[in-house]
Amino acid sequence: MNISLLTFALFLQGCVVSNPIYDTFAKCVTSKGVKMYGTYWCHNCTKQKELFAEAFQYIDYIECDARGEKPQPEFCLKKGIQAYPTWEFSDGSRVEGTMPLEKIAEKTNCKLEDEGVVK
């Protein structure tokens, strides 16, 4: 029984936990008017979400598939979204595909750092 409990505890250590650095970064990105368009079935969208981990909840995400959670397919069509993910920045520029967090930081001037060490 103790071995099972230990195994479970070790398993939980590997689970994603909230990271204040990513939380602050994601909130900053959203405060700059940045949006991510995607679909629930998109592999690259899933990879993008994983980069943010739990902090993705703070990203302004628009679901473009009518079968997804809180779908907005008409809005995506109106915006001319053709690839997933598509990042739209406040200056109107767009980037299609998975973006490294460092590139998002560059485009938004949001900091992705802890105690002066860039991540």
Q: Which domains are delineated in the chain?
A: 18-118 (3.40.30.10)
Contact between 77 and 71 (Cβ < 8 Å):
no
Greater confidence, 109 or 12?
109
- Does residue 111 have a pLDDT over 80? yes
CA angle 28, 19, 89 (to 5 degrees): 25
Question: Rounded mean pLDDT of 4-21?
Answer: 50
pLDDT at residue 114 in the model: 59
pLDDT of residue 11: 42
Asked if residues 48 and 98 have their Cβ atoms less than 8 Å apart, the reply is: yes
- The structure tokens 């001319």 sit at 80
User: The whole model's pTM is what?
Assistant: 0.80
